């Protein structure tokens, strides 16, 4: 069928209107700002959603996006994705600064901390014959999956102290069992205390009717972290019987702080920089002006957050500080193997 000139003109007009319509829709979508956070059930994404809720009051539409963790977030902030800022572990900066790649170091120099959030403690469950962190050199140590937050922290600590363990990548439950059985010398887990994965150790330690099982917990402990070099980048943390009832004395450890970060846009060299800088300022006002609401109705971790504290080697973001003052069970004896019994507790 042939189209006359009038029909062709109508088709071109329709096509033009469709392009115009979709172009306007794209602009509307682009007005939302991506914030990369963490796993779908994790604390980071819940904190992100809390921020998005109060940011609306400043006319700022934020999309809290799930991610694979700190390194994934840095990758996405530096990509062409709509991801202006994100939540990462504070030790990611030291990790990036010591990467041999000039490109990675350039990224590290541009990163700024918009807000500090809450602490996550470093848990190192180890055999008792290991008494100091440096004793892990050459030992079998589980450090979580590669590029995970736990893996990042473990490798950063190894770098700081100058040791090289034999790294393995078991899940937390698998690693805990292997440490108890002597198949691993130690395992790392970075998370806010108390960590559910370690709670079964209290049940095992209280197995008075089965001293064979109880003896397994008697052979392990949380390894203390006391090397002063560590605390240039990390806060000091403590693990005690208040967190894990099977412990018989408090242990000093390191604490990683979750931080909200973005690039430094304070130079305002072009419209993009000016827009981002203004957005960071509005974001900061939204969080500071609504901190009481966040503590009352948001994630419980908001109760631990001091928006003005310094964190290790991080520089505070200039844009977000402008125009802002400082405000505000029983064990079976039926012949089950030790591994079978442990499996029942770490399912």
**pLDDT tens-digit profile of 273-289?**
999 999 999 999 999 99
User: How much is the pLDDT for 15?
Assistant: 42
- Max mean pLDDT range (16-30, 40-54, 155-169, 332-346): 155-169
Q: Is residue 17's pLDDT more than 60?
A: no
Q: Tell me which H or E stretch contains 33.
A: strand 33-36
Beta-carbon contacts of 194 under 8 Å, excluding residues fewer than 6 positions away, are 243, 244
Q: Is 111 helix (H, G, I), strand (E, B) or coil?
A: strand
Angle subtended by helix axes 338-345 and 172-181, to nearest 10: 150
Domain ranges of the chain: 32-328+337-345
Model confidence band, residue 13 (pLDDT cutoffs 50, 70, 90)? very low
The per-residue pLDDT for 7 is 54
Mean pLDDT of the chain: 85
The CATH architecture one would assign to domain 32-328+337-345 is: 3-Layer(aba) Sandwich (3.40)
Q: Rounded to the nearest 5 degrees, what angle is found at the Cα of 151, between the Cα atoms of 145 and 152?
A: 135
Assess whether pLDDT exceeds 90 at residue 305: yes
Evaluate if residue 208 carries a pLDDT over 70. no
For 146-162, what is the mean pLDDT? Answer: 93
pLDDT tens per residue, range 250-277: 999 999 999 999 999 998 789 999 999 9
Residue-wise pLDDT tens digits, 83-97: 999 999 999 999 999
Model confidence over 50-71: pLDDT tens digits?
999 999 999 999 999 999 889 9
> Can you give the pLDDT at residue 330?
36
């Amino acid at each position: 069928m042939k189209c006359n000139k009038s029909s062709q003109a109508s088709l071109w007009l329709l096509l033009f209107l469709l392009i115009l319509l979709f172009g306007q829709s794209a602009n509307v979508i682009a007005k939302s700002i991506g914030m990369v956070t963490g796993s779908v059930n994790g604390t980071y994404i819940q904190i992100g959603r809390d921020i998005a809720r109060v940011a609306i009051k400043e006319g700022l539409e934020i999309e809290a996006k799930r991610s694979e963790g700190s390194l994934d977030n840095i990758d996405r902030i530096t990509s062409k994705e709509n991801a202006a800022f994100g939540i990462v572990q504070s030790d990611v900066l030291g990790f990036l600064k010591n990467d041999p790649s000039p490109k990675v170091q350039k990224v590290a120099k541009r990163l700024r901390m918009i807000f500090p959030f809450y602490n996550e403690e470093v848990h190192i469950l180890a055999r008792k014959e290991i008494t100091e962190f440096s004793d892990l050199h050459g030992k079998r140590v589980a450090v979580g999956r590669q590029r995970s937050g736990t893996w990042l922290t473990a490798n950063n600590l190894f770098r700081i102290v100058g040791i090289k363990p034999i790294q393995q990548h078991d899940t937390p439950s698998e690693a805990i069992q292997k440490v108890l059985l002597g198949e691993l010398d130690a395992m790392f887990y970075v998370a806010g205390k108390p960590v559910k994965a370690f709670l079964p150790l209290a049940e095992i330690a209280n197995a008075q009717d089965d001293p064979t099982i109880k003896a397994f917990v008697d052979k392990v402990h949380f390894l203390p972290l006391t090397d002063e070099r560590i605390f240039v980048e990390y806060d000091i943390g403590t693990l005690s019987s208040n967190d894990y009832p099977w412990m018989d004395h408090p242990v000093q450890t390191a604490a990683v702080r979750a931080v909200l970060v973005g690039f430094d846009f304070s130079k305002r060299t072009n419209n993009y920089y000016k827009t981002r800088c203004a957005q960071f300022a509005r974001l900061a006002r939204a969080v500071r002006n609504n901190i009481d609401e966040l503590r009352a109705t948001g994630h419980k971790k908001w109760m631990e957050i001091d928006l003005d504290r310094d964190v290790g080697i991080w520089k505070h973001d200039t844009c977000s500080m402008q125009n802002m003052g400082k405000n505000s069970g029983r064990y079976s004896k039926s012949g089950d193997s030790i591994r079978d019994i442990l499996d029942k507790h770490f399912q």
